[in-house]
Structure 1
Amino acid sequence: MSSLKTLVPPKPIKLYSCVICPWAARTWIALTQANVEFEYIEIDLKNKPEWFLKEVNPGGKVPTLKYGDDIIIESAITTEFVADLFPEAKLIPDDPFLRAQSRLMADRFMEYLVPVYRELYVACNVDAAANVFGAIDKFLPYLKDAKPFFGGSDHLTLAEILIAPFLSRLYMVLESGLVSGETLETLTSDPKYEYFNTWAQNIFATPGLKGTFDKTANLNWMKERLSSLGKL
């Protein structure tokens, strides 16, 4: 849900992130989806600024969230912090059981589909596209009542925010022409996967995704990696 009203945090928020990092994108999506006032600072992960390592996060990881003078790290933690800080954005289900189920859904996505994403996007093993459907088949039982989002929600909640950066990059690779078009054709036309694909497309259309996912930058990163590996 993107509120018409900008949410102003009790203390200033700075998000240190990187446009090609899906882990960092989680918190960026949460802040954007909730329409929070914050400052975005891009960090080049290949050439991390000395000031970032000295003054902000000696570990050099993104996302790093600065809340006032306090530093919060690790993507699931920083994202949940945003959800807790702005309860009016309703990024976490109110019902404890539904909240538990949504976290289980995110965990199962990470278990089943993120390994395929890593093979395609990180390892640049384009043949891994053949593994997409087996992973989706395992995941589907955990995707409950996506009408249009988990649990019948009309907006993104934490589970889908944690999933979305990986899902968007997975589709990006399938749409890129770098892998056989047969996988994408099946995913978007086979009735067996209509529920999953509709849910994914609904995620991609949200303010949180449209405002944060730079498809060109991410695709160029993958093409450069493919080229360096002699696969392009």
Structure 2
Amino acid sequence: MPQQLTLYLHKISPYSHRIELALAEANIKYKAHQVDLFNKPKWFAATVNPLGKVPAITYGGPDVDPAEPSSLSFKLAESNVILQFVAELYPESGLLPKDPVERAKVLFFMDAVDRHFDKPGNDWMYGRTESYEVYLKGVEMIQGLLSESGEFAVGDHYTIADATIGPLLSRLKITCGTDIGVFSVGQGTKLGEELKAPKYAKFMKYVQAMLERPSLRDTNDEAYLAEIWKTLIPKRRD
């Protein structure tokens, strides 16, 4: 019998969304429990993740109410660590290649996304940097790492590399379409126009392929995210 798996998440968290995508792609049965990040229950930090962050999972132990996790279950946090755990727990899913070289490519891609795509994107969106040029350099780096077909990040199968970047691509689409961010008015729209240039064609082909996958469509709510961003993101520079 498969062990119980519970995912603690929040809809605004792209890192929670990564786990949702991997579990959906592998057709893994699990419980999902939304954690109110703006009014965190005391039991969450006390019994699941001491840092109080999502995503986090419990694995194994008795099948209990997620709000009353068992001390017998294994607890794990940090999105990329959880992704690798899930992939190794269900090797038949293909989420992590068996070949050492392909496996290394997946892990390298994940690290590159966090360092060179996610971080500069957040820095720009929240006004910590003036320009999106560093973000574009990250786009170019990611594009250079994509498989030749441009359908998946690595090889010819969906892996945790795709799950790592998928939620960020959805949020990139929102930024370019709504211009929401702590940057000068019009910068989000301008970035979207720049990404239409031929030099980014492979990246944009990949973006479209990821956005069209049922796993992302079924777990994504762009309208909700856009509305939340309007209230959470500080006043931008006009």
**Which of the five TM-score ranges fits, normalised by the shorter chain?**
0.7 to 0.9
TM-score in terms of structure 2 length: 0.82
Per the alignment, residue 6 of structure 1 pairs with none
Question: Where in structure 2 are there 5+ consecutive unaligned residues?
Answer: 61-72, 181-185
- Summarize the alignment of residues 199-210 of structure 1 with structure 2, pairs less than 5 Å apart: 199-210=206-217
Aligned partner (choices 6, 15, 21) of residue 14 of structure 1: 6
Aligned partner (choices 59, 65, 73) of residue 51 of structure 2: 59
Per the alignment, residue 171 of structure 1 pairs with 173
2:15 partner SS? helix
TM-score in terms of structure 1 length: 0.84
Stretch deviating more after TM superposition (11-20 or 125-134): 125-134
Distance 2:46 2:105 in 1: 39
Distance 2:208 2:129 in 1: 22
Per the alignment, residue 3 of structure 1 pairs with none
Number of aligned residue pairs: 220
Question: Where in structure 1 are there 5+ consecutive unaligned residues?
Answer: 1-8
Structure 1 position 183 matched with structure 2 position 191: yes
Q: Which structure shows the higher helix fraction?
A: 1
Indicate conservation of the 8 Å contact 1:18/1:42, yes or no: yes
Aligned partner (choices 13, 20, 28) of residue 20 of structure 2: 28
Distance 2:222 2:128 in 1: 19
Distance 2:198 2:4 in 1: 47
Indicate conservation of the 8 Å contact 1:104/1:142, yes or no: no
Distance 2:51 2:153 in 1: 34
**Structure 1 ranges of 4+ moved more than 6 A:** none
Cα 1:139–1:230 change in 2 (3 A) is closer
Q: CA deviation at 1:169?
A: 1.2
2:37 partner SS? coil
Per the alignment, residue 198 of structure 1 pairs with 205
Per the alignment, residue 159 of structure 1 pairs with 161
Distance 1:142 1:29 in 2: 21
Per the alignment, residue 223 of structure 1 pairs with 230
Per the alignment, residue 221 of structure 2 pairs with 214
Q: CA deviation at 1:120?
A: 4.0
1:150 partner SS? coil
Q: CA deviation at 1:13?
A: 0.8
Cα 1:100–1:91 change in 2 (3 A) is same
Aligned partner (choices 138, 141, 146) of residue 144 of structure 2: 141
Indicate conservation of the 8 Å contact 2:154/2:161, yes or no: no
Distance 1:57 1:109 in 2: 24
Q: CA deviation at 1:205?
A: 1.4
Deviations 1:1-54 (A, max 9, x none): xxxxxxxx7111110011111122221211112121111000111110122233
Q: CA deviation at 1:98?
A: 1.1
Q: CA deviation at 1:222?
A: 1.7
Per the alignment, residue 114 of structure 1 pairs with 118
Q: Superposition RMSD on alpha carbons, in Å?
A: 2.2
The residue identity in structure 2 corresponding to 1:224 is T
Q: CA deviation at 1:83?
A: 0.9
Q: Which has the higher contact order (CA 8 A, sep 6+)?
A: 1
Per the alignment, residue 5 of structure 1 pairs with none
Indicate conservation of the 8 Å contact 1:76/1:162, yes or no: yes
Aligned-residue identity in percent? 30
